[in-house]
Structure 1
Amino acid sequence: MAPERNERRRQNQVACHMCRARKLKCDQRKPCSSCTSRRWMRVRWKTGCRLLPDVPQYHQPKNTKRILLPPRDFALRVIDLYEEKLESAQQVMHIPTVRAKVQLLYEQSRGPRPGSQQGLIALLLAMSAHIGFWDTYQRNGLFQDVELAAKVSTVLAQQAMDAMNYARDSTTATMEAVQAATLLVFLEYHMEGFSMRLRLLQSTALAMARELRLHMIDAVQSKPIDLDQAAVIEIETGRKLWWYIACTDWLLAFDSGPTQGVYSVIPQQMRVKKPRNLNTDDFFTRDLDFERSNDAATPMAYYFLRIRLAEVCREAVDSMIMQQPEAVPYDKVYELDGKFCALTTSLPRFLQLDVGPETIKREFGDRGGSQIGLQRALANLMISVRRCKFHLPFLIRHKINPRYAFSRYACLESAQKLLEVRRVFLDDSSWQISSTLPLLGLYRFVFYAAMVLVMDLCINNPNDRTRLVEVRDAMQIVAETKSTNQTAWHFLHALRDVLSRHGISLPVENNSNVITPHQTRQEGTQSIPNDSISECRPMTGRSTDPVFDFSEFELLWPQNLVDDLFLDPHCWDGLINLDTRIM
């Protein structure tokens, strides 16, 4: 008789569904470490969306991420507003294509499937966050009040980041996911400045763009044989998206901060033609190879200027950004400044600052409205602030080396141009973009201009009446925003403290109302009267030839302003310790 065999019962399956399907080790937690490290977590999509279809309900982990999909009417309204008000600031998508995809998203009978549509959902949420943030400055009836618009914008921005991260980790990269990351970079700058999150978003957008081989769109082996209308639109959108990301990379390398002097996009390693100058409807009404002239008033005008500006900034990075200013051949400074100036002189007529809105509307009709006004403001602001930043290291060295007089002039001219741009577009309501300017970071540009004027006043010529008036007016602009902008309050206080340390008084209407250094220190939060000029009180208690102490300028660089002003405290440590003398 055969011996009895001990039958072993089959052990119950305890691994989670994801680990069993992929033959991974599971620690039986909810969620397990394998799912957590790969970010395989349950995602609940509201507004009729379902859970991931291949994951049984009883295996779903507890840490659910909920992503709110806005109602259909709201989503379509967001797309319309974005196209009308903000598209010309970011040419990274073809709006009719996005609108059609979003409509299809909502028309699916069982709700959109996250496995195939998460990139599009991230893009829609990013656009919604943009409009919510913009609605805090210009009322459009989307939200009940400004406070609600600000809160919803913050929530939608975080939701867009969650959806974009899920799209990045769960599927192959999509064009919509790259577009969402690019829009979030723009929004993050205006919400938090040049933060670490912004740099991570930029790196994410660049990595996904390379995953899609956008940097090789026009390589010989990448060109399709037959091109229909949809293929042409996709290729052109890919070109716009890649060049926008590449230019952002070069501009970040030019600006101060952790990424200064370092960029990842090498021109020799990309095969991408520059986009064509087209209106949105040209894809449907023109031949496949049609292109408008460079001076045509299209939504692409600022986009092309941004490319040229980024190329000049990249050349400046290669030539001098990693060297000490004294070691830079000054002929190279002249050469690069000429390229910055050429950007301004070569602007199309409708982007030039001295052409009024009535002339623009008469020459370009309906196209001469807020979209052109927005491009004009952006073009002139971006050129001026980069030129100002380029010459800033030489501004404070003018006292010890007179050959830097040209840089001082160029730096001050650019700072004054920043204030002029603000005046033109805020004083003339016919441009219809005054409430949009905060979204462009205008107040950061004003802070930068005020800082440059104060530095020149304290270092080079404390008794210059013209400069005193310019500083007073610039600080008045900052004072007007301090009630709604915490950064403005801190920056205004720092500027006034620096002026008081140098015994500099700002001119007011009469001598009895002169703002003395003591009053400046005591009334750091009080706005400066913007009245007519009077004699300023002379400085007292100062030697005629002391060693100038730059340590006062440390007050100008508190950490919450470093990113906003394109300045890095480590870079400025060397500048504020210069042995500069007042002659």
Structure 2
Amino acid sequence: MKRSARDAAGNPPKRPSRQDPVSCDFCRKKKLKCDRALPCSSCRVRKLSCCYGALPLGARASTEPSQTEERNVDDGILAQNARWNPRQSIETQIRGDNEPLQTVDWLETIVMGPRIPSAMPDTLRAELSHRGNEASPSQSAVSGESATLFGRGIASRENPATVHLPTYLPPLAEALGLFQYYCRYLDFQYHLIIPTQTEEQIKGIYMSAMHDKPINLAHAALLFSIASAALYYKLLRDAPDYAEQISREATFLSGAALIQASHVSYPTIEGLQATMLIGHQLSNMNLPPSVSSLFLPRSSVSQAISLRLHLIDSPQFANERISIQSENQNVELKRRLWWDLVAYDWLIGFLSGPQEWTYSIHPQHMIVNEPLNLEDDEINKTQGHPMSTPTAMSYPLCRLKLAVMCRQIVDETSHYHLRGQEVPYEITLALDRKLQEILSEIPSFFRFDQSSRRQHAQLYQDRPMFAWQRAMVQQGYHSRFCRLHRGYFVRGAKDPRYSYSHVVSLQSARRVLETKRMMDEEGPVFTPHSSVVWSVMHHVFMAASILLIDVCFNWDDILAEKRRAEVLDACRMLGRAQQSSPSAREGINAMMAILRKHWRHEKRPGSRSREDYSIASSNVVSQVSRSDLMTPVSLSTGSTALLQRPDGQSTLDPSAVLPSDPPLEDVWAEFIDGGAHAELDTPDWTVLLNELTNVALPNE
């Protein structure tokens, strides 16, 4: 009565709470953490009906239109929801009606969206606030693909075995856009998929989601892998740091799909494609630790062996194919995947690192025919084109020939290297002749001479991938010449017996740099730009280091000034790459730390004096761990950039150019003008070159 009297007196009654239930009825009753899926994980495991507010979620959405309309009045919230939305309704892309999916979008983006920040930890709320308020113009201008994967927060904070993958699917139009970007600009390097087949698999994922059926997890893993690579290179130029973060999230989702599919125990071809794609395209990134082991090269080899890819053309399997009349397309795809793994394994055996002078796949332990030189739409044929005919498989086959040669070099020289002995010069010359012979056999459209370039100008215009592959073939072969003759490079400058190694090393180093200049200056222009590809820039740094050593060793040569200009021009390439890609910047900084560690400066009479630069920053950068997710706190001009970790600690941003760091051109000019030389135990300087190669393993 008192309450009624007060109401009658004019006091407004207490407004009922408009707080909508965040958790489902069962989770609220049992005080469990609800993931707010439909059904949530708790109800799904217990096989219960998942309801929100004593009503099924779909029904609740239809009975509360007024709340939705009231929230949509505020334009600011509308704009926020448009950015937050993890995916557009699948029904707008594929015909059909799926009320639960529409309701999930409504609940998450409108009901829960404005309230989620208040329930977040302080560190995460600060991180989201910083991204929203202090993002750079380039980050705010990135396309809608980037907002899609972060729609429900940071996926990698969840358990990969329970994360709800359909929620993170991008809209079908965006997924196909990323797929087309990958096919046009990235697939040519390794060609791990058949585009028409993969496109059908992607559409099948959305068809299953539309009909509320379980999605194919292996196909989803492949889709997220393609999205990860495409997002990284697509956003790299405008927002490099953000590109790495969003790519890591997509990689996590790919790994989560593989974990949920029990891929390690029951591998599939699509799952293998996903792991190989990430391993090739993003091997220089620090992958999410919860899934990183899935994308290691050794893991991919193990998966391929479990699939019996190393026995594709054995008599037993050949007879089985005849009896079941299997499609030749699947067999040829398996050959391509297996030989790509083999090529990578043999190529890295001739690179410094823990795998140096060894390889995992022995040629006598497999029975697999080499892939045919065929276009994808001809894959059902049983006979391929000659190598003089350009196809989608021309470059992988040329890369395979180089890999076979690298395996032969390992077989011939590993005995000496593993025992700390010098490889006889006769063996080096014999291997050089074989490598020269293989280089002379590459197709004309992969050569750089003037007549070949004129002959295939129209081909490069119609299919730019051949121009890109031509550059990669040339860099791959000539960088191996430098490595083969490295032990006799410096000795060849003073001992006529080894002068051939000195000449070949310089010629090959100059060819690597010339190739990079042509990639930058001649059409078609690389997309993504060649400076963001670490495998390209690693070869450039090694070639520039060889020229630097030669200039410092022969500083009083009559052509010293010309050679100095040549080295500084290569430095400018490296300087531009530092500004274009986080992976290239980290790799170059690490290699510069190796140079500084081995170099000491002794001023020559008459040499120009330069300001001494502090190198303490490079030592700090090399110790920075990027495994934790870090957020820029400030990056103003002339100030030190710090990164704020989720635990509240601050650390130095390795991507920032500190004021104490001079340009690379100045540093290398100091090496040359100051008469720098290395403090090494060996007179041939191979220790320095080995350590430079060992800084980061390039993609091959």
TM-score under structure 1 length normalisation: 0.73
- What SS does the corresponding residue of 1:455 show, helix, strand or coil? helix
* AA matched with 2:300: A
Task: State the secondary structure of the residue aligned to 1:328.
Answer: coil
Is 2:459–2:466's contact at 8 Å kept on the other side of the alignment? no
Q: Relative to structure 1, is the Cα distance of residues 525 and 227 closer, same or farther in structure 2, using a 3 angstrom cutoff?
A: farther
Counterpart Cα distance in 2 of 1:538 and 1:559: 23
Distance 1:85 1:231 in 2: 28
2:37 maps to 1:56: no
| Greater mean alpha carbon deviation, residues 434-443 or residues 73-82 | 434-443
What is the match of residue 295 of structure 1?
Answer: 388
Given residue 162 of structure 1, which amino acid in structure 2 is its aligned partner? A
Residue 214 of structure 2 is matched in structure 1 by 113
Q: Within the alignment, does 1:563 sit opposite 2:695 as a pair? A: yes
Which one-letter code corresponds to 2:224 in the other structure?
Answer: L
- Over 3 Å counting, the alpha-carbon distance change for 1:524 and 1:327 in structure 2 is same
Partner of 1:308: 401
For residues 317 and 256 of structure 1, do their structure 2 counterparts lie closer, same or farther at Cα, with a shift above 3 Å needed? same
The runs of 5 or more residues in structure 1 that have no matched partner are 1-41, 140-144, 506-510, 567-583
Out of 116, 119, 125, which is 2:224 matched to? 125
- Per the alignment, residue 375 of structure 1 pairs with 469
Cα deviation, residue 232, structure 1: 0.8
Of 388, 392, 397, the match for 2:482: 388
Q: Is the 8 A contact 2:445 2:453 kept in 1?
A: no
What corresponds to 1:240 in structure 2?
Answer: 336
- For the residue of structure 2 that corresponds to 1:134, the secondary structure is helix
* Alignment match, 1:526: 663
Structural mapping, 1:95-174, within 5 Å: 95-108=195-208, 109-111=210-212, 113=214, 117-137=216-236, 146-169=240-263, 172-174=266-268
Give me the whole-angstrom Cα distance separating, in 2, the residues matched to 1:475 and 1:453.
11
Tell me how large the CA RMSD over aligned residues is: 4.3
**CA 1:520–1:561: 2 relative to 1, 3 Å:** farther
How far residue 491 of structure 1 moved from its aligned partner, in angstroms, is 3.7
- One-letter amino acid of the counterpart of residue 119, structure 1: A
Tell me if 1:252 matches 2:320. no
1:60-459 maps to which residues of 2 (within 5 A)? 64-67=162-165, 68-108=168-208, 109-111=210-212, 113=214, 117-137=216-236, 146-169=240-263, 172-191=266-285, 201-223=296-318, 224-225=321-322, 231-283=327-379, 288-324=381-417, 326-355=421-450, 359=454, 362-364=457-459, 367=462, 369-398=463-492, 402-433=496-527, 435-439=529-533, 441-458=535-552
Q: Is the 8 A contact 2:221 2:258 kept in 1?
A: yes
State the alpha-carbon separation in 1 of the partners of residues 361 and 36 from structure 2.
36
Per-residue deviation at 1:165? Answer: 3.9
Q: Which residue of 2 aligns with 1:488?
A: 588
Asked whether the 8 Å contact 2:487–2:686 carries over to 1, the reply is no
Checking the alignment, whether the CA contact within 8 Å between 2:224 and 2:254 is kept in structure 1 is yes
Distance, in Å, in 2 between the alignment partners of 1:343 and 1:558 is 25
Shift of 1:125: 1.0
Pairwise CA distance, 1:75: 1.6
C-alpha deviation, 1:419, in angstroms: 0.6
- Give the secondary structure class of the aligned counterpart of 1:225: helix
Aligned counterparts of 1:365 and 1:559: Cα–Cα separation in 2: 37
Match of 2:297, SS state, is: helix
Cα deviation for residue 50 of structure 1 reads 8.6
The letter of the residue matching 2:219 is L
Deviations 1:400-429 (A, max 9, x none): 865333222222222211111110110114
CA spacing shift, 1:537–1:160, aligned 2, 3 Å = closer
Deviations 1:372-396 (A, max 9, x none): 1221121112112222222223324
Specify the code of the residue in structure 2 equivalent to 1:296.
T
Q: Distance in 2 between matches of 1:290 and 1:442?
A: 34
CA distance in 2, matches of 1:198, 1:449: 32
Deviations 1:211-237 (A, max 9, x none): 111011111110211676x71110000
For residue 182 of structure 1, report the CA deviation from its aligned partner: 0.8
Contact 2:594 2:692 in 1 (8 A): no
Could you say if the C-alpha distance between residues 65 and 473 of structure 1 is closer, same or farther in structure 2, counting changes exceeding 3 Å? same
DSSP 3-state at the match of 1:113? coil
Contact 2:233 2:528 in 1 (8 A): no
Residues 329 and 97 of structure 1, relative CA distance in 2, 3 Å threshold: same
Instruction: Give distance in 1, aligned partners of 2:273 and 2:673.
Output: 55
| Alpha-carbon separation, structure 2, partners of 1:353 and 1:307 | 20
> Structure 1 residues 496-505 or 117-126, which shifts more?
496-505
SS of match in other structure, 1:295: coil
The amino acid across from 1:393 in the alignment is G
Letter in 1 for 2:511: K
Alpha-carbon distance in 2 for matches of 1:246, 1:379: 18
Taking only the aligned residue pairs, the percentage that are identical comes to 22
- Tell me if the contact between 1:278 and 1:292 (Cα under 8 Å) persists in the aligned partners: yes
Deviation at 1:558, TM superposition (A): 11
Contact 1:247–1:310, Cα closer than 8 Å, also in 2: yes
Change (3 A) 1:525 1:277: same
Shift of residue 482, structure 1, vs aligned partner: 3.3
Distance in 2, Cα, partners of 1:342 & 1:492: 35
Amino acid at match of 1:181: T
> Which sections of structure 2, spanning at least 5 residues, go unmatched?
1-32, 51-157, 616-659
Tell me which moved more, 195-204 or 239-248.
Answer: 195-204
**2:255 aligned counterpart, secondary structure:** helix
Q: Is the 8 A contact 2:445 2:470 kept in 1?
A: yes
Partner deviation per Cα, 1:306-325 (whole Å, 9 max, x = no partner): 11111011111111034147
Larger radius of gyration: 2
Distance 1:329 1:553 in 2: 18
- Structure 1 counterpart of 2:329, one-letter code: I
| Partner deviation per Cα, 1:555-581 (whole Å, 9 max, x = no partner) | 968999833267xxxxxxxxxxxxxxx
Distance 1:559 1:72 in 2: 46
Q: Say which is worse superposed, 76-85 or 65-74, in terms of deviation.
A: 65-74
Please, what TM-score do these two structures have when normalized by structure 2? 0.62
How far, CA to CA, are the matches of 1:289 and 1:101 in structure 2?
Answer: 25
Give me the whole-angstrom Cα distance separating, in 2, the residues matched to 1:216 and 1:488. 41
Gap change, CA 1:344 and 1:422, over 3 Å in 2: same
